[in-house]
Structure 1
Amino acid sequence: MLTKTWSLSRDRCFAPDPIQRQIAHKFFDNISSLPIVCPHGHVDPALLADPAARFGSPTELLIIPDHYIFRMLYSRGISLESLGIPTTDGSPVETDHRKIWQLFADHFYLFRGTPSGLWLREELTNVFGVDEPLNSRNAGYIYDYLAEKLALPEFSPRALFKRFHIEVLCTTDAASDRLEHHQSLHQEGWTQIRPTFRPDAVVNLDTPGWRENLAKLESSVGREISTYATFIQVLEERRAYFKKMGATATDHSAATPYTAQLSDQEAEAIFTRALAGKLNSFDAQQFTGHMFVEMARMSAEDGLVMQMHCGVTRNHNPAIFERFGSDKGADIPLQLEWTQNLRPLLSAYGNHKNFHLILFGMDESTYSRELAPLAGHYPAVLLGPPWWFHDSVNGMERYFDRVMETAGLYNTAGFNDDTRAFVSIPARHTVWRRVACNWLAGLVVRGLVEEEEGFEMAQALVYDLAKSAYKLD
């Protein structure tokens, strides 16, 4: 048996003021049992499609796939090879999962005060029942304890999905994806697992491996894509297929939210140059900006909610990208400008009754200056929650303080966890719920809203807004 020395504070994420804390507890107690809605994330649907699927070892579950974890370790001089992160060329990395876990435990202190530390602590205690702080001394014991738990049927992905009380979970899927896993899930009645259409790999012409990605799209539709007109037709067909499979949203990522409207002839010329390998950086920027507007046009026609995630320089560390590939913790936020960049798109569709756009950005300075005013005016625009580096207690507090007065609560899209780490989902939602309840309690203490209103606002923030924004009702 583990010795009882570790527990989660009942007051975590709440203000020290006793009156505010008391009200925050009341709000949280009222909403804590609401189902979890996950309208945007990166959980692999294969994990849930196979009834026999398991998470593997504790190392495979918590370390190797999670760039939040190994990013911090790498920043302190620990090589990715020693953490078992696969290389793109297949060169050797550490394969002893107990050894990797020991290295992780030796440096577990690095996560103190970080959102990853908060999530990990809640995962270990609430999901697995670990009640002893992970450290160098007990690393092997806790590894064995977790391995035993993970082998049990009640810790399978499907069992935890039900235990977590997840009402709906949306994955993120390439335009070329045939959605076989979603098909098998739906055949079994698991229709609460929905795809999301993400065409970045073929829409952003400067994506590494763009020609190979286009070939995958050609394979999925069974015909050659040799013109821009065919390209647009295929994307429309794929969107229709995704919608048939339960998708309610699309997702688009670019460094900046630049948008532009090109003529068909201009777009065709750029696409032709891309096919010939003669693309330049200006071409790529113009085409991505144009395709943002085209995707808005398609959303206005088919009703799929459009998400834009902007403001990150991908693969900032070339040595890591060349050896390990993308999504390895080397993505760094950018300074953004939204007002002028989005004007072509919003001029065309910002007032359209059937168009819905959810914006996510990494530059917090734009919250009150641009994003909140845009959402507070255009009927089509909603603000997504604090994203990525700002998915934290402080990031959420800054978001509430800078956005809500101008945009209004009901011009935001609630919360999404945006995670690949399946077992962290409840922890991430709990942090949002606690911080939201604490913020609302502060409004009550200052006399800005009535306590009765606070209860309704809390339910909106943790449940209603996300369902409405993503058309999941």
Structure 2
Amino acid sequence: MSPMPLSPHPDRLLPADPGVRDIARELYAAVKDLPIISPHGHVPVEWLAEDTPFTDPTTLLLTPDHYTNRMLHSAGGVDLADLGVPVGTPLSEERSRAAFRLLCENWRYLRGTPVQFWFESEFHDVFGVTVRPSAETADQIYDQIADCLTRPEFTPRALYRRFGIEALATTDDPCSDLASHTALAADPEWDGRVVPTFRPDAYLEPARPAWRQLTAALADAADVDITDYASHVEAMRVRRQFFKDRGAVSTDHSHADAGTARLSDAEAERLFQEALAGAISPADGDRLRRHMINDQARLACDDGLVMTLHPAVARNHDSDAQRRFGADVGGDVPHAVEFTRALQPMLDAYGNAEGFHLVVFTMDETVFSRELAPLAGWYRGVYVGAPWWFIDEPDAIMRYRRSVTGYAGFAKTSGFIDDTRAFCSIPARHDVSRRVDSAFLASLVAEHRLAMDEALETAVDLVSTQPRKVFKL
């Protein structure tokens, strides 16, 4: 029996109604080849700075993709270790091929998910694969991709250019020396744009066990003697400026809640001294952290870095997976979050300040229409981020547009945020967003709520104008 062909339909994700689909086709045609702006993600800058060829299909396509790993783990019963987790695990050719077989053998578990869309696009559009993944075709597909990876047109830089990426942001520790970013920017053969992102989460959690060690590292990196709260803020200011001087445009924050309530100066200092002594309680650690986040917004008003906030994720929910593989292997689950009262202290102070940009995105869909759209619909500096992570799938993106557009409009949204470690999936993920946005705009045209010229202009804005403006690119 011949293998089933792999040939993604050109109208995938476009409306089923023929008349609306024709409108969506025209809108999609206007944006499908526009440059990609990826303002939040986790692709290692070293890949592009060193331009070292990728070693094998598994470590490039499968191991770093949390979405795929969690589905193979949950539905297929696959052990994460057999997929090469954690990232950075050296894989022999035999282990790499075995992991790839597991993906293909369990292909049915990806049906109807965005993961299927991404992989079909990667396999077909990037590597020229024309057979559907299965147990029978696994080795054939593996060999074809492995052969591609030996060619110069599949090096990291070549793919960056082929994907049409205009700007790509990484996520970086506040104490990083950003050496690879500096080297890449100085390379005369490099003409792309890769910028660092300041991610201070762990440094703003005073009750966590590692906080004192992190604070000592922050003091060394900033060359600031951190003895009180004011000197901690100064160290943050120094490191933020260090990042900005090396191209950073944003900071990234993710905590258990969105709280930004301020303390009195005396109370903040008292709690900070308790934290330095290792004696702060979890509840007081949260209070101090919310005060610290408020001050990050104040610093953002001074240095102009865009502030992104995506709270309410139960990290490392599976403690056994964390024990075996370390943090951040995909066992993260969303929980409910409140923004209206939580953000009020920060927005009351800075929400309408000149140059302040706050991008809020979350996995809790329920807050898009209830809280985020109304907040963005009032405060000049607030933008609603795109559906993120577990919900960056077609139906969720459509629900997002329907939830926020009526109150906030298109101009108060961020543009698509792919938040990915899977480099080759970047064009596929952005393509999903472009197709769904085209479908949404087509429905507005079909219902005579937008003229076609307005829809065309908006389609381009969502891909280009908005992310450039919101992230100051």
Q: What is the match of residue 147 of structure 1?
A: 146
Q: Deviations over 1:124-143 (max 9, x none)?
A: 10011101011101111211
Is residue 199 of structure 1 aligned with residue 200 of structure 2? yes
Aligned residues of 2:368 and 2:400 also touching (Cα < 8 A): yes
- Contact between 1:82 and 1:94, CA under 8 Å: does it hold in 2? no
Amino acid at match of 1:50: E
The alpha-carbon deviation at position 416 of structure 1 amounts to 1.8
Deviations 1:370-415 (A, max 9, x none): 1111000111111111111110100101001111000111011111
Instruction: Return the offset for 1:216.
Output: 3.1
The residue correspondences of 1:382-461 to structure 2 (distance < 5 A) are 382-461=383-462
Deviation at 1:211, TM superposition (A): 3.2
- Partner in structure 2 of residue 107 of structure 1: 106
| Unaligned stretches of 5+ residues in structure 1 | none
Q: State the alpha-carbon separation in 2 of the partners of residues 12 and 78 from structure 1.
A: 29
Trace 1:67-466 onto structure 2 (pairs within 5 A).
67-76=66-75, 77-86=77-86, 96-189=95-188, 190=190, 192-207=193-208, 209-222=210-223, 224-466=225-467
The alignment partner of 1:438 has SS state of helix
Per the alignment, do residues 206 and 58 of structure 1 end up closer, same or farther by CA in structure 2, a change over 3 Å counting? Answer: farther
* SS of the residue 2:203 aligns to: helix
Measure, in 2, the Cα distance between the counterparts of 1:91 and 1:242: 31
The letter for the 2-side match of 1:402 is S
**Does the CA-based 8 Å contact 1:306-1:357 persist in structure 2?**
yes
Query: For 1:405 and 1:314, how far apart are their aligned partners in 2?
Result: 33
Task: Judge conservation of contact 1:414–1:466 (CA < 8 Å) in 2.
Answer: yes
Q: Distance in 2 between matches of 1:146 and 1:91?
A: 19
Q: Cα deviations across residues 233-281 of structure 1 (Å, max 9, x unaligned)?
A: 1110011111111111111111211111123332222222222222211
Q: Report if the CA contact (8 A) 1:360-1:384 is conserved.
A: yes
Paired residues of 2:386 and 2:416 also in contact (CA < 8 A): yes
- Residue 284 of structure 1: CA displacement? 1.8
Per the TM alignment, residue 291 of structure 1 is displaced from its structure 2 partner at its CA by: 1.4
Residue 206 of structure 1 and its aligned partner are, at CA, apart by 4.1
Take 1:210 and 1:315, find their aligned partners in 2: how far apart are those partners? 18
Write the deviation string for residues 171-215 of structure 1: whole angstroms up to 9, x where unpaired: 111111110011001111546111111111211224563333334
Please give the alpha-carbon distance, in whole angstroms, between the structure 2 residues aligned to 1:468 and 1:91: 41
Give me the whole-angstrom Cα distance separating, in 1, the residues matched to 2:149 and 2:338.
46
**Relative to structure 1, is the Cα distance of residues 136 and 16 closer, same or farther in structure 2, using a 3 angstrom cutoff?**
same
CA distance in 2, matches of 1:409, 1:184: 37
Instruction: Determine helix, strand or coil for the equivalent of 1:167.
Output: strand
Q: What residue in structure 2 maps to residue 47 of structure 1?
A: 47
Tell me the equivalent position of 2:35: 35
Length-normalised TM-score, structure 2: 0.95
* Cα distance between partner residues in 2 of 1:81 and 1:408: 45
Post-superposition CA distance 1:130-166 (Å, at most 9, x none)? 0101110111121111111111111000000011111
Residue number in structure 2 paired with 1:20: 20
CA contact (8 A) 1:174 1:199 kept: yes
User: Structure 1's 416 and 186: CA in aligned 2 closer, same or farther, altered over 3 A?
Assistant: same
Aligned length: 469
Give the whole-Å Cα distance in 2 for the aligned partners of 1:298 and 1:111: 43
Structure 2: which 5+ residue stretches go unaligned?
none
| Separation of aligned partners in 2, 1:109 and 1:208 | 42
Distance 1:233 1:272, change over 3 A: same
CA distance in 2, matches of 1:371, 1:99: 44
State the Cα distance separating 1:224 from its structure 2 match.
4.4
Query: How far off its partner does 1:222 sit?
Result: 4.2
Report if the CA contact (8 A) 1:203-1:291 is conserved.
yes
**Conservation of the 8 A alpha-carbon contact between 1:85 and 1:93:** no
Going from structure 1 to structure 2, the CA distance change for 1:170 and 1:91 (only over 3 Å counts) comes to closer
Q: Which residue of 1 aligns with 2:61?
A: 62
In 2: Cα distance, 1:296 partner to 1:222 partner: 22
Please, what TM-score do these two structures have when normalized by structure 1? 0.95
- 1:221 deviates by 3.0
Cα–Cα, structure 1 residues 276 and 375, in superposed 2: closer, same or farther, change >3 Å? Answer: same
Q: Once structures 1 and 2 are overlaid, which stretch shifts more, 275-284 or 122-131? A: 275-284
SS in 2 for 1:97: helix
